[in-house]
Amino acid sequence: MSTVLTQGGNAPLTAARVTVEVTAPKALDVSGLLLTEAGKVRSDADFVFFNAPNGPGVTHRPGSGSTPDAITVDTTALPAGITRIVVTASPDEAGATFAGTEPTATVRDTATGQVLATFTPPRLGRETALVVVEIYQRGGSWKIRAVGQGYANGLAGIATDFGVSVEAPAPAAAPAAPQSAPAAQPPPRPVAPPAVASPGSTKVTLDKGRVSLVKGGSVSLEKNGRPFLSSIRMGLGWEPAGHGRNIDLDASCIAFDAQRNKVDTAWFMKLNIFNGAIAHSGDNLTGEGSGDDEAITVHLEGLPAEVCGLVFVVNSFSGQKFTDIKNAYCRLLDATSGQELVRFDLTQSEPHTGVVMCKLVRQYSGEWVMTAIGEYVNSKTARGMVKPAAAML
């Protein structure tokens, strides 16, 4: 009897050799990645797809006619040290998303064709690639888990997160200049400013130092290909109003699970959640003083496994609109050293009482990525921010 899996659910594999098919109303490309305990491939040879269909213990079966693309996994032939096989899918049409499409993974016993499990990921939209399921080893046995983690940057984004080298197209070579007198030496190169992450840019990490985000830009909390931080502090600041009018802004952190359901909120009414894994510095009623007005410290390794996204919001509890507030910003710091790593300044404001500043999202590979949002809503407390924040994950 087959098992119908829901997102996050798992089931034991009752066959040593299984085939994972992914079907949808549109043509899909299905791929497989062989991962070690660290959640990374050993080399690019551990990425199995239509152009590299054979890997150790894992093969790609191309689709034809009514037969869908598939990945076959022989758990008895996997190399030592490989503990997970991730099966991904992406639309065959360039630039297409999963909007309006419900892909379904079917796991079969390769020898008999018997269906062992099925899974249809929920709530897909602008995702252009998807980690569908994983086959993983636990306690000497192999299991299947329903994942359904979407990516907006295509299969290349998934591959990069798991350690595959994805080369960008090389720019066209400029025509050779005619031979002439030796060119003058260029002036000394100026010191580079902090990297600026913007929408559509290549993956930005902390390798080059502090990053200045613009709205929609993202930065991975990695350095030299490895997680850089275990504890971070999100600092938020603003300038108080003149003419004796105080502005009481409140910073909050809303934690969500993989289904975008709220798990808990750290705010001025509840300063510590998850046994202190997220801790709020306390309420600043005016914005007076130098430095951050409120700060939220997050110990990433202490978060429950169900927490996949953190959204940082600011609300004007005193009711003033953000058009009456100056120089609001958020910045990410290394909680241990106090070093500023990422900064996002609100350069434009709107006449609302709440703003979703940024989000931290745990990728399926375990990597955390910060994205600047800067979207305004009407709400004076964190309670009214849950739905709009969930929609922005």
Q: Kindly state whether residue 186 falls inside one of the protein's structural domains.
A: no
Q: Kindly state whether residue 147 falls inside one of the protein's structural domains.
A: yes
**pLDDT category of residue 241 using cuts at 50, 70 and 90:** low
70 touches 108 (CB < 8 A) = no
Q: Kindly state whether residue 182 falls inside one of the protein's structural domains.
A: no
Q: Kindly state whether residue 178 falls inside one of the protein's structural domains.
A: no
Tell me which residue has tokens 């997102």: 7
Q: Kindly state whether residue 131 falls inside one of the protein's structural domains.
A: yes
Q: Kindly state whether residue 168 falls inside one of the protein's structural domains.
A: no
Same domain, 121 and 11: yes
**pLDDT category of residue 30 using cuts at 50, 70 and 90:** very high
As given in the structure block, the two tokens for residue 160 are 């990069």
346 touches 249 (CB < 8 A) = no
pTM for the predicted model, two decimal places: 0.57
Number of domains in the chain: 2
Same domain, 219 and 321: yes
pLDDT at 167 over 70: no
Same domain, 325 and 217: yes
Q: Rounded distance, CA 313 to CA 325, Å? A: 15
Same domain, 156 and 241: no
| Strand pairing class (3-5; 115-119) | parallel
- Residues 142-163 have pLDDT tens digits of 999 998 888 877 787 788 778 8
Same domain, 154 and 210: no
Exposure of 274 by Cβ count < 10 A (0-12 exposed, 13-18 middle, 19+ buried)? middle
pLDDT for the residue 284: 52
Q: Which domain holds residue 110?
A: 3-161
- Mean pLDDT across the chain: 82
Same domain, 151 and 241: no
CATH number assigned to the domain comprising residue 47: 2.60.60.30
Same domain, 236 and 377: yes
